Amino acid sequence: MPVQNGLVGPFPEGADPEEHDKLRRRILWKMPSGLYVVGSTDRGDRRNGMTLNWATQLGFDPKLLGIGVEQEAFTHELITIGGVFSLNLLDREDRAIVRKFTKPVEVDLGAKTLNGFPFHDGRTGAPVLDQAVAYLDCEVRQSVDTGGHTLFIGEIVDCGFQKDEETPVLRMEDTRMNYGG
């Protein structure tokens, strides 16, 4: 991959690499994206919840979910060891929650809380936030190194609604946050 001024190409011939990179980021930020909390565990006593926006369905039979996790993240370590994760879909009204999960969380196993938010262990052992609208509980079937992130591909082994199915869920555009691009 060509590198110009510290930016990774390819770049169209004659294009200013910096301006082209800004254009790519603006377009990528326009792509609709959910905003979630991914739960992880080493299947022992360690648990974490992390704000995540790179998630998508990847297969129908079996039902597969892909999530992109930064390789330096504590959540990456837990998913690699435990081989499981949960994806918590949040109520649009709960948008402030995601800011509480941008760093490794404080876990109270006795009270069953992550940063003070109640959770229960899903079928896989991955934490599921009690106030999530819905959740998907997954076992990792494959992981793909994509550079600074890993695409974890999980098979959905359990799921459920915890609030009314019509509850609007949080999207990246509902916040001032942006990640990627």
pLDDT for 32 equals: 82
Residue 48, both tokens: 């974490």
Return the pLDDT at 7.
Answer: 62
Rounded distance, CA 43 to CA 107, Å? 14
Q: Does the pLDDT of residue 1 top 70, yes or no?
A: no
CB 172 within 8 A of CB 98: no
Q: Confidence band (pLDDT; 50, 70, 90) for 6?
A: low
Q: What is the pLDDT of residues 115-165, one digit of tens each?
A: 999 999 999 999 999 999 999 999 999 999 999 999 999 999 999 999 999
Domains of the chain as residue ranges with CATH: 35-174 (2.30.110.10)
Name the DSSP letter for residue 137: E
Q: Are 86 and 127 in contact (CB under 8 A)?
A: yes
The β-bridge partners of 159 are 136
Contact between 120 and 127 (Cβ < 8 Å): yes
**93-128 confidence digits (pLDDT tens):** 999 999 999 999 999 999 999 999 999 999 999 999
5 pLDDT exceeds 80? no
Q: Read off the pLDDT band of 14 (50, 70, 90).
A: confident
Query: Tens digits of per-residue pLDDT, 38-76?
Result: 999 999 999 999 999 999 999 999 999 999 999 999 999
Residue with more model confidence, 33 or 122:
122
